[in-house]
């Protein structure tokens, strides 16, 4: 995703060492965002239907088994909610970073490749 490249031919007297260019390939970040978005949406769908496991547990017959299954479903739902919330926060931060990288590339690099200058 992030690559550094040594650029030979720095102006004499300007730098003792060659310039170093840093390139961020936001297409890889975009794919990660898409994957995270799908995971968050799937997690939210599961959270929208918490009664499925509880409903199956009530058909278990044995009171202790039913209570244990309902307790597990409640805990699992709590953990899934925390995971989905964390993933949604990470997704928002990553999307923000992609926008910043793209904006910096478009406005700061006069020789930015055409595919980068045309990003929405």
Question: pLDDT (tens digit, 9 = 90+) per residue, 25-72?
Answer: 778 888 999 999 999 999 888 888 767 666 766 776 778 887 887 788
Domain count, the chain: 1
| pTM for the structure as a whole | 0.61
Q: At what angle are helices 63-108 and 51-58 packed, to 10 degrees?
A: 170
Answer whether residue 105 shows pLDDT above 90. no
Q: Which residue has the higher pLDDT, 14 or 88?
A: 88
Write out the residue range of the structural domain in which residue 77 sits: 2-117
């Amino acid at each position: 995703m992030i690559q550094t490249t040594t650029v030979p031919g720095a102006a004499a007297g300007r730098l003792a060492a060659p310039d170093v260019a840093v390139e961020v390939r936001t297409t890889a970040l975009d794919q990660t965002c898409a994957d995270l978005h799908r995971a968050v949406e799937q997690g939210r769908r599961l959270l929208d239907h918490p009664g499925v496991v509880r409903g199956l547990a009530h058909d278990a017959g044995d009171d202790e088994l039913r209570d244990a299954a309902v307790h597990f479903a409640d805990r699992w739902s709590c953990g899934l909610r925390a995971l989905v919330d964390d993933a949604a926060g990470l997704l928002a931060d990553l999307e923000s970073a992609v926008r910043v990288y793209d904006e910096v590339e478009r406005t700061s690099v006069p020789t930015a490749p055409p595919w980068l200058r045309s990003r929405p």
